[in-house]
Amino acid sequence: MLVTTKELFEQADKNNYAIPAANFFDLDSARTYVKTAERLKKPLILAFAQSHMNMMSLEEAALIGKFLAEKSTSPVALHLDHGQDEAIIKQAIDLGFTSVMIDASEDSFEENVRRSKAIADYAHPFGVVVEAEIGHVGAGDSLESEESDSIYTEFSEAVKFAEATGVDSLAVSIGTAHGHYTGTPKINFDVLQQLYEALAIPLVLHGGSSSGDENLEKCALNGIRKINIFTDFITAAMDKIREEQPENYFDLIHDANEAIAKTLEQYFNVFHTASHE
């Protein structure tokens, strides 16, 4: 069933767990995520990043996402991840995405507030949930998180930002980065605790891939309600293909999807994601 992230977050907060936001980039990845969630009776955030519009159009992503979500017996939210262009975000809302992210985290605080509030004001009359980012989750490929270009979320700024924008959830920077790590990042759980206690809206963690199961489990049990995963799915698929060395394209796709499904199942367990029943 197609739902909003607001509905999913209410249950997650009530029962203290996180929900994976799995980034899809084609029909196979989207279908594998949704089928896995349905098999395990888990809620899912099916995410499509603006940066993946070179893989499929926003219209195609909306059609695929809505079709799979509406057909599923599990609750599935269709989310636009890292929307940076207002026109693209508004188009996603018009196309039926139930959740959107405005990522103006590299702008000044004032500009981030202005842009995020504008999207919230546009989206809310349609019943669409809005996520924004304060601080900055940078690029991966770092030895340790402190060597990336991430900027920790400032407690006082986050409180002001949430009040000024009216957004529904907030992506915070507490030590993760997007992409691969060659080490395990050091998560600032003190900052997470401060943010969780001060903010009335759900917290989101970007850069979940290769952040370590122990780190992510602790985040899920201490206030993070949505954790974004992408790189780990692709890595698992490639590792499986290299291991199996399939002789034809159809076996290659099967192996890749099997690895992606197994990785999502692992993260449902790590995040303590409860059954929707």
At residue 213, the pLDDT reads 87
Q: Which two tokens stand for residue 59?
A: 């219209």
Q: Quote the longest CA-to-CA distance of the chain.
A: 56
Catalytic residue among 26, 28, 81, 239: 81
Q: How confident is the model at residue 170 (pLDDT cuts 50, 70, 90)?
A: very high
Q: Which of 195, 206, 33, 24 is nearest to 105 (CA)?
A: 206
C-alpha to C-alpha distances, 182 to 89, 145, 216, nearest whole angstrom: 33, 10, 17
Q: Name which of 76-80, 96-100, 101-105, 156-160 the model is least confident about.
A: 156-160
> What is the H or E stretch that residue 229 is in?
strand 224-229
For residue 64, the one-letter residue type is I
At residue 187, the pLDDT reads 80
Per-residue pLDDT tens for 125-165?
999 999 999 875 555 544 333 444 456 777 888 899 999 99
Catalytic residue check, 81: yes
pLDDT at 179 over 70: no
Report which of residues 41 and 206 the model is more confident about.
41
Which residues face 19 on adjacent strands? 226
At residue 137, the pLDDT reads 59
At residue 145, the pLDDT reads 38
Is the Cβ–Cβ distance between 201 and 223 less than 8 Å? no
Q: How confident is the model at residue 34 (pLDDT cuts 50, 70, 90)?
A: very high
